[in-house]
Amino acid sequence: MASNLEEDLRAEMAAWEAAGLRRRLAESEAAPGLVDFATNDYLGLAGDPRVVEAARAALAEHGAGGRAARLLGGGSPLHAAAERAAAEWLGAEAALLFPCGYQANLGLVTSLVRRGDAVVSDRLNHASLIDAARLSRARIFVHAHRDLDELARILARTRGARRRLVITEGVFGMDGDLAPLGEMAEFCARHDAWLVVDEAHSAALLGPRGAGAWAAAAAAGASAERLVARVLTGGKALGITGAFVAASAVLVDHLVNHARPFVFTTAPSPAVAGALLAAMQLAAAGDERRARALGHARTLAARLALPAPGAAVVPVPQAGAEEALAAAGALRAAGLDVRAIRPPTVPSAGARLRIVCHSFNTDAEVDELARRLSAAPGRAAVAVAAARDRTLVVAGTDTGVGKTVVSALLLRAARRLGPAAYWKPVQTGAESDSEAVYDLAGAEGHEVLPPAWQFPLPASPHEAAAAAGQTIEPARLEEALAGLRRMLPDATLVVELAGGLLVPYRSGYTQADWLERAAAPLVLVARSGLGTLNHTLLTLEALRARHLEPRALFLVGDRHDSNRETLRRMGDVERVFEVPRFPALRPAALDDWLDENDLAEVLEA
Ligand code: PMP
């Protein structure tokens, strides 16, 4: 039967909506008259008459359009002038104008690294940086948010790469905190890596003359030796659109030749270049405006007992996506435009209100917002960035590789450290892994949670579900996980997947897709023996392509020193454990193994 695209899309959208993820443009538009605590127009430059006039003059003189790609005669003298001004402002040799920040990140990263290289990325980096890393085909290593120790460990074990690029936001757009740029630059110097800083939420706000987070770090003594480029987006504090890559003249020349999102796109409108020129002038001279925006953010955070923000974004954690939506709705009804941020923009547990403070917000407006937020229900107890995800997913390279034994080991080790629980979301076949873990881990009844789905056919989840006349709804899995997290906020939750990583839950949706959405910490279990190298390296590639980095690799079976060494060298996994086939699979055997192998670091990383 012919497929029906619209029907398929409606069904997909219904599932999206059921998971509370649906957005509608009409609902997102700002209602007139609301107080803006939502947009990235930090300094109010979007509506500044001098900026608007500069755009108008540019249009009158150079026409409305970019007309062609820059290399084919497009653009105007204002484009080059804006590039010179951006370079001068940021203290770089040169700059190149892209149509937007997303394209600037794509162009920059894909021009610098390729297959055989490594990109090291903060887990909370913006989607454009993640997509840029993926598109480059370099291997992607993700470290926990602002975790310098993990960054150092990754740099130490990726020496085999031709080139290593560390990519970060200066101030994180969703969490509002600062990257430790000075230390990151130092680590790059020590390990022969290069640093890229996306200044989207720091330019015009931090540093001398508002030159950004890097400029602030440099003023505090950071060495620029390893800074390879900064991305200055024009759509945030500058109030326009477009973005500059500010770097050495050599790199800019390289981008002009190699950055496909620059080479193969029409030059931005002269209005953009003209307005950017005016906005950069105002921003550089805008000490008073930035002080107001930053002051509001500090005041608001202090009133809500939240950590001091890095610049002008204050994330206010919410218990869940629904609570965040309700809180934002109530504030908008009271005339304050505040936006809820929920998955997939942020990890599952990270629903929040993202408050943006502007120079044009008044003290009275900030005071009212603080009062309403203090009184609002649904606030989560911890700061978003500080919340540690105590979930640990156990993924496998295949079925029958020893995931259940590793899960039991992890649960047993976790119970030594505090409250812990085990959950196998989807169980297929008559044998119950939950029961096995229950016995092996010596768990109490309440520590082994019932599966969300259980099917008698010993097959892949999608097939076993179909045989039982059912479908596995990823949205329901997510709800179930979120519910368990709420119910057991302090417990380490060991979650065992079914079979190999890419096994489908339903047609077109694999366990890896779910894991990418959940963005939970994970470990990988592989069989020790013939065929391990290929399965393990493929699975690592599949994980890293999804911005997922396993905390450890467990090789289960007879010792195989050469495999272990090859995987250490080529897999670049931080920790590799070997688990034997226990002659008698009993709790005491697991305890003996745990006495020899400390899993605390894996559980508490
Ligand atoms: N980087 C960061 C950190 C961002 O927040 C954004 C926009 N949200 C971008 C890049 C993309 O910039 P643009 O909107 O100009 O494409």
pLDDT digits (tens, 9 = 90+) for 547-594: 889 999 999 998 888 888 888 888 888 899 999 988 878 888 898 999
Straight-line distance from the first to the last Cα atom of the chain, in angstroms, rounded to the nearest whole number: 50
Q: How far is the CA of 356 from the centre of ligand 1 (A)?
A: 15
- Return the structure tokens found at 201: 């939420």
Residues 6+ apart with CB under 8 A from 361: 35, 36, 37, 292, 293, 296
Q: Residue 171's pLDDT is what?
A: 98
Q: Residue 137's pLDDT is what?
A: 92
Q: What is the mean pLDDT of residues 402-416?
A: 92
Q: Strand (E) positions, 123-163?
A: 139-143
Q: How far is the CA of 444 from the centre of ligand 1 (A)?
A: 48
pLDDT of 537 strictly over 70 = yes
Please give the number of the atom of ligand 1 that sits closest to the Cα of 40. 8
DSSP, collapsed to helix, strand or coil, labels residue 102 as helix
Give yes or no for a contact between 576 and 532, defined as CB atoms under 8 angstroms apart: no
pLDDT digits (tens, 9 = 90+) for 477-506: 888 888 888 788 788 999 999 989 999 998
Please give the number of the atom of ligand 1 that sits closest to the Cα of 126. 3
pLDDT of 220 strictly over 90 = yes
Write the DSSP assignment of 219-288 as a string of letters.
HTT--GGGEEEEEEESSSTTSS--EEEEE-HHHHHHHHHH-HHHHTSBPPPHHHHHHHHHHHHHHHT-HH
DSSP, collapsed to helix, strand or coil, labels residue 406 as helix
Nearest residue to 568 via CA among 548, 553, 557: 553
Please give the number of the atom of ligand 1 that sits closest to the Cα of 105. 10
Please give the number of the atom of ligand 1 that sits closest to the Cα of 233. 15
pLDDT of 376 strictly over 80 = no
Q: Residue 380's pLDDT is what?
A: 61
Q: How far is the CA of 288 from the centre of ligand 1 (A)?
A: 25
**What Å distances lie between residue 5 and 11, 467, 505, 510, CA to CA?**
10, 26, 21, 21
pLDDT digits (tens, 9 = 90+) for 23-73: 888 777 777 899 999 999 999 999 999 999 999 999 999 999 999 999 999
| 523/603 Cα distance (integer angstroms) | 10
Q: How confident is the model at residue 186 (pLDDT cuts 50, 70, 90)?
A: very high
Q: Residue 87's pLDDT is what?
A: 98
| 67/206 Cα distance (integer angstroms) | 35
Contacts 24+ apart (CB under 8 A), 579-584: 579/402, 579/405, 579/406, 579/409, 579/554, 579/555, 580/556, 581/556, 581/557, 582/405
pLDDT of 387 strictly over 60 = no
Q: How far is the CA of 3 from the centre of ligand 1 (A)?
A: 37
pLDDT of 141 strictly over 50 = yes
Pocket test for ligand 1, best of 236, 244, 339, 341 (most atoms within 8 A of CB): 236
Q: How far is the CA of 125 from the centre of ligand 1 (A)?
A: 10
| 151/323 Cα distance (integer angstroms) | 34
Please give the number of the atom of ligand 1 that sits closest to the Cα of 173. 5
Pocket test for ligand 1, best of 100, 102, 168, 240 (most atoms within 8 A of CB): 102
Q: How confident is the model at residue 313 (pLDDT cuts 50, 70, 90)?
A: very high
Q: Residue 43's pLDDT is what?
A: 98
Give yes or no for a contact between 191 and 277, defined as CB atoms under 8 angstroms apart: no
**Pocket, ligand 1, Cβ cutoff 6 A:** 100-102, 105, 126, 128, 169, 173, 198, 200-201, 233, 235, 243
DSSP 8-state assignment for residue 447: G
DSSP 8-state assignment for residue 124: T
Counting residues of the chain whose pLDDT is more than 70, the rounded percentage is 97
Q: How confident is the model at residue 384 (pLDDT cuts 50, 70, 90)?
A: very low
**Residue 246: what are its φ and ψ, rounded to 5°?**
-105, 125
pLDDT of 385 strictly over 70 = no
pLDDT of 250 strictly over 80 = yes
Residue located nearest, by CA, to atom 4 of ligand 1: 200
**What Å distances lie between residue 413 and 392, 425, 557, 593, CA to CA?**
12, 21, 20, 10
Q: Which helix (H) or strand (E) holds 316?
A: strand 313-317
Q: How far is the CA of 40 from the centre of ligand 1 (A)?
A: 10
pTM as predicted? 0.79
Q: Residue 53's pLDDT is what?
A: 98
Pocket test for ligand 1, best of 126, 129, 167, 174 (most atoms within 8 A of CB): 126
- Return the structure tokens found at 567: 């995987």
Q: How far is the CA of 234 from the centre of ligand 1 (A)?
A: 9
Q: Residue 348's pLDDT is what?
A: 65
Give yes or no for a contact between 414 and 492, defined as CB atoms under 8 angstroms apart: yes
pLDDT digits (tens, 9 = 90+) for 263-303: 999 999 999 999 999 999 999 999 999 999 999 999 999 99
Residue 513: count of CB within 10 angstroms of its CB: 16
Residue located nearest, by CA, to atom 10 of ligand 1: 101
Lowest mean pLDDT among 6-20, 226-240, 281-295: 6-20
Nearest residue to 552 via CA among 599, 495, 494: 599
Q: What is the mean pLDDT of residues 501-513?
A: 91
Please give the number of the atom of ligand 1 that sits closest to the Cα of 128. 10
The partner residues of 555 in beta bridges, in order of sequence, read: 526, 578
pLDDT digits (tens, 9 = 90+) for 415-472: 888 889 999 999 998 777 778 877 887 777 778 888 888 899 989 999 999 999 999 9
pLDDT higher at 446 or 216:
216
Lowest mean pLDDT among 182-196, 338-352, 576-590: 338-352
| 75/98 Cα distance (integer angstroms) | 11
Report angle CA 435, 440, 441 to the nearest 5 degrees.
100
Q: How far is the CA of 186 from the centre of ligand 1 (A)?
A: 26
Please give the number of the atom of ligand 1 that sits closest to the Cα of 169. 3
Q: How confident is the model at residue 1 (pLDDT cuts 50, 70, 90)?
A: low
